[in-house]
Amino acid sequence: MGDLLDRAAAETYASWFRALADPSRVQIVEYLARQGRPMPVGEIVAAAGLAQSTVSQHLKILTEVRFVLVEAVGNARHYRINGACIDCFPSAADVVMGRPAPTAAGGCA
């Protein structure tokens, strides 16, 4: 029997999976990834069809795990996908499922 996954890595991966445990957050991540550009919250709200406060809460959770990055543009905040994080997420899923990771995780930390 092999060693357990490092605790710090397990905690990081668990936070990623929790962040994606809501279908609306999955939709927001997918939308931002497809758009490939920083977007104001209003555009994300229009695409998601949810209340602005709900989208803002989802974006807060996604920025905490760094799937989404936020940048100030004047008085507004624009959100964009974190390409490094999206690239390493499948590796985390592979590790958790007992398959070797094709790349080292850590681009999201």
| Inside any domain, residue 109 | no
Residue 101: its pLDDT value, please? 63
pTM > 0.75: yes
| Inside any domain, residue 39 | yes
**What is the domain range of residue 45?**
7-96
Residue 25: its pLDDT value, please? 96
Provide the token pair at 76.
Answer: 């507004």
- Confidence category of residue 87, pLDDT binned at 50, 70, 90: confident
pLDDT tens for 53-64 read 999 999 999 999
| Inside any domain, residue 59 | yes
For 14-41, b/e burial (b = at least 16 CB within 10 A) is eebeebbeeeebebbbeebeeeeebbeb
CATH code, domain carrying 59: 1.10.10.10
Q: Is 13 exposed, middle or buried (0-12, 13-18, 19+ CB in 10 A)?
A: buried
Residue 5: its pLDDT value, please? 79
In order, the DSSP letters of 35-57 are H-S-EEHHHHHHHHTS-HHHHHH
- Confidence category of residue 2, pLDDT binned at 50, 70, 90: low
pLDDT exceeds 90 at position 41: yes
- Mean local confidence (pLDDT), 67-77: 94
| Inside any domain, residue 12 | yes
Number of domains in the chain: 1
| Inside any domain, residue 101 | no
pLDDT exceeds 70 at position 105: no
| Inside any domain, residue 1 | no
